[in-house]
Structure 1
Amino acid sequence: MSIFAVGINHKTAPVSVREKVAFTPDNLTHALQQMVDQLNCQEAAILSTCNRTELYFVQDRTVDQVQQQIVDWLQRYHQVPAHLIASSLYWHHDRKAVNHMMRVACGLDSLVLGEPQILGQMKQAYSQAKAAGSMQMIMERLFQRTFGVAKEVRTETDIGTSAVSVAFAAVNLAKHIFGQLQKSKVLLIGAGETIELVARHLHDNQVSKITVANRTVARAEAMAKEVGADVITLAQIPEQISDADIVISSTGSTLPIIGKGMIEKALAKRRHRPIFMVDIAVPRDIEEQVGELEDVFLYTVDDLQGIIAKNMENRRKAAEDAEHIVSDGADQFMSWLRGLNTQNAVVAYRQQCLSKRDELLQKASAQLANNKNPDAVMAELATKLTNHLMHAPTRAIQQAAQGGELDKLIYLQDVFDLDTKDN
């Protein structure tokens, strides 16, 4: 019985390949059932995100046997040439598979070191496998231990506390200046991916109000609806900006959208209550001279990159501590698994002995019922039971001695508490 983790991710393949082997929520249950039925997996789970697709499973086969089997199945399932798959896959077996799963859940294998979203995706993979009926005792224990390790990493290290994206850094800066953001009103300029991420972070921080300004209103409406924001045009910014405590801008404009004069008027209306402004755009959306105003805190993308670089270094240091936690977690799981294997072996050995005992007792009872001499029956029972119990250990000791396996011979002598010294 072995545990495998097989996958493809942003390190091993471009998105053009990754998207070909991705599983959607609609086909995941079918895929898990195929893994169990066609690949003879005892247990299985699938993690599929934009950056990775990984198969976790338990199977009684060697690594060499599994590799070709998995490549062939992925080729058939996704209708993708085998060479594209084989050259992009990575393979982890037993402890390395356990360690890899835990590293993934902790964000240590992510494109952005320490990102928290992957843990939620791992929990979703667990739930889907449970619903599909492909999760049993070993994978159940492995996932639960993985979640425990991820929680410990988040609690005991600073790997998730430092902002390492422009969007996250911008919102964190706002929190440093205003403290809690619940009473803050925000104006977002633009409707691209970065502004969308900023909007989500702000929404998570429960800001009082979000307004999105964009050249095309229709393009901004879908994003705005998701976070409960209002939408205005760029032309409406001058009349709306005085209401904003926080302004974050990221457009593709070649000329500044916000000038010094516009902000001076806004500050007058605000009675010089400060405005926090972040210009993520290149070229700039906000004139450089705006930063000269006393009641304006203006940060550019370069300022944020400096913060991000420092925070990435902090995360790398935290990742070293996280790796130790993951390694300990993997060791603990493997210790449990070895204990499980030992328990199974003990149960099997006891059942074998008890079965032989019952067989011999039944035979002895039949002999006594036929009036055979009781002493002879007892002697035969004792001899046959003793011979049965002695057979396997005796053969193992003889084979170790004949093969010159001294370590094994010493081990067997210790197991059976044998005194080999001359009396």
Structure 2
Amino acid sequence: MTLIALGINHNTASVDVREAVAFSPEQMAAALREASSGKTLQEVAILSTCNRTEIYANITDDTQGGQKLLGWLSEFHNTPLEALEPCHYVHEGADAARHMMKVASGLDSLVLGEPQILGQMKSAYATANEAGSLKSGLHNAFHQVFSVAKRVRSETAIGENPVSVAYAAVTLAQQIFSDLKNDTALLIGAGETIELVAQHLAKQGLKKIIVANRTLANAARLAEEFGGEAILLAEIPEHLHKADIVISSTASQLPVLGKGAVEAALKRRRHKPIFMVDIAVPRDIEAQVGELDDVYLYTVDDLKEVIDENMRSREQAAEIATEIIEEGVGRYQKELNSLDAVATVKAFRASVDALRETELEKALKLLQSGVEPSDALNQLARNLANKIMHKPTAKLRKAGAEGDFDAINTFQALFELDVGTDTLPATNDSKGQNIDLNSEKP
């Protein structure tokens, strides 16, 4: 089995493409079951955020698994394969583990070190676990990833400065409105990102916050925390004219704010400008809204320039985080190697146990036939030793004949044999010599 990470993110694809392959919460369980139902992909987890869609899997065919996974992604979302091929990436084995650790630690995010991604990855793990698409391979990989991400957070300053998509949106609002103390913000959604936006706005002394959400109770919870007003999504047109700032981040598959509603609000505002940031993928605000003269509409991609200015303080911490990740990759690889060794040990033990049972049965028959116990025991010991030694001895003779001294030296180290300097050549310079292994034929 080979660990694979396939994805499309903000660095490789535009918002349009990312929208096309985004998984809604309602789709996730069915998608996981479908993806893990084939022979090639037996373990699957999916991470889908506004900036990335990534699929983590253990595959049996490491030469075509990535291509089959991309094909499945294309088919599931009814998106042409040729649209995904130029903007996808695939990592395998240790590289896949390294990539997952970078993602969970925030090193691959649009905002360097942003903390939300770790929670999103944990949710992806929990969802896959609940859907039954995880087995021991991905379980172990995720546990290593979470362990590394925890170290990065606790041992570096990667997350100390408030640099995030939410923070960048508020920073951009400050550049347009010099003083937010006289402004009103309409926040669409009530999730973690919107909550962060509300926190940053409150710190800037914003006059009023209106929270719109599909569930009024969730909107009320967030609005109450910041002394704001809660409304339903359907009530947005009635309140939109009050908003100087609109920031939206929902999980809706369709836009929640259209051009017509914004035009009506602008008329009531007498064309006083509205600043809008659409953080959601798929987009919450129709792209045509940006065509209106008195609207300043920004998407996630537009925030990149603002974010670049705020991320420099985290670059040094990222270097330390990279070292921690490399240590984590090393541990992950060692665990995989140890699992391979465990399988070999089990097979070896089973083989020896089978020989033991066979020879023990022969010895018992000898005793029953009247043979002296000492003779039966000697025969048992001799036969068992010869049978155990037979295959390794044959392999050693072949290694000697072929000059494969690495195999011979490995055998010596494995059984801690001291054969002296006169028995075997010390280097490969002696290839071709005849070797007397001084071992009895079984």
TM-score w.r.t. structure 1 length? Answer: 0.68
Find out whether 1:89 has 2:88 as its counterpart.
yes
Find the residue that maps to 1:110 and give its secondary structure.
coil
Q: Would the aligned equivalents of 1:20 and 1:78 in 2 still touch at CA under 8 Å?
A: yes
| Matched letter for residue 47 of structure 1 | L
Find out whether 1:227 has 2:227 as its counterpart.
no
Which residue in the other structure is 1:399 paired with?
398
Deviates more, 1:40-49 or 1:347-356: 40-49
| Matched letter for residue 336 of structure 2 | L
Question: Where do 5+ consecutive residues of structure 2 fail to align?
Answer: 173-179, 231-237, 248-261, 274-292, 297-302, 424-442
- Please show how residues 63-78 of structure 1 align to structure 2 within 5 Å: 63-78=62-77
Q: Would the aligned equivalents of 1:48 and 1:54 in 2 still touch at CA under 8 Å?
A: yes
| Matched letter for residue 395 of structure 2 | A
| Matched letter for residue 398 of structure 1 | R
Which residue in the other structure is 1:388 paired with?
387
CA deviation string 1:341-392 (max 9, x = no partner): 2223222212221122112212332343344675665455334322321133
CA deviation string 1:160-186 (max 9, x = no partner): 22233585268799xxxxxxxxxxx96
Q: Would the aligned equivalents of 1:210 and 1:230 in 2 still touch at CA under 8 Å?
A: no
Distance 1:7 1:213, change over 3 A: closer
Find the residue that maps to 1:317 and give its secondary structure.
helix
| Matched letter for residue 24 of structure 2 | T
Which residue in the other structure is 2:284 paired with?
none
Q: Would the aligned equivalents of 2:360 and 2:380 in 1 still touch at CA under 8 Å?
A: yes
Q: Would the aligned equivalents of 2:42 and 2:59 in 1 still touch at CA under 8 Å?
A: yes
Shift of residue 146, structure 1, vs aligned partner: 1.6
Shift of residue 325, structure 1, vs aligned partner: 1.4
- Please show how residues 75-224 of structure 1 align to structure 2 within 5 Å: 75-164=74-163, 168=167, 188-189=183-184, 191=186, 200-201=195-196, 203-204=198-199, 211-212=208-209
Shift of residue 49, structure 1, vs aligned partner: 1.7
Q: Would the aligned equivalents of 2:166 and 2:197 in 1 still touch at CA under 8 Å?
A: no
Q: Would the aligned equivalents of 2:188 and 2:246 in 1 still touch at CA under 8 Å?
A: no
Tell me, in whole angstroms, the C-alpha distance in 1 between the residues paired with 2:192 and 2:383.
76
Q: Would the aligned equivalents of 1:187 and 1:212 in 2 still touch at CA under 8 Å?
A: no
Tell me, in whole angstroms, the C-alpha distance in 2 between the residues paired with 1:368 and 1:34.
61
Q: Would the aligned equivalents of 1:368 and 1:377 in 2 still touch at CA under 8 Å?
A: yes
| Matched letter for residue 89 of structure 2 | Y
Which residue in the other structure is 2:16 paired with?
16
Find the residue that maps to 1:64 and give its secondary structure.
coil
Which residue in the other structure is 2:52 paired with?
52
Tell me, in whole angstroms, the C-alpha distance in 1 between the residues paired with 2:193 and 2:68.
44
Deviates more, 1:19-28 or 1:197-206: 197-206
- When the two chains are superposed, the root-mean-square deviation of aligned CA atoms in Å is 4.5
Which residue in the other structure is 1:263 paired with?
none
Question: Where do 5+ consecutive residues of structure 1 fail to align?
Answer: 174-184, 238-246, 258-281, 286-303
Tell me, in whole angstroms, the C-alpha distance in 2 between the residues paired with 1:72 and 1:306.
34
TM-score w.r.t. structure 2 length? Answer: 0.66
Tell me, in whole angstroms, the C-alpha distance in 1 between the residues paired with 2:134 and 2:50.
24
Shift of residue 85, structure 1, vs aligned partner: 3.4
Tell me, in whole angstroms, the C-alpha distance in 2 between the residues paired with 1:249 and 1:44.
37
Deviates more, 1:204-213 or 1:154-163: 204-213
Distance 1:212 1:134, change over 3 A: closer
Shift of residue 109, structure 1, vs aligned partner: 0.7
Shift of residue 136, structure 1, vs aligned partner: 3.0
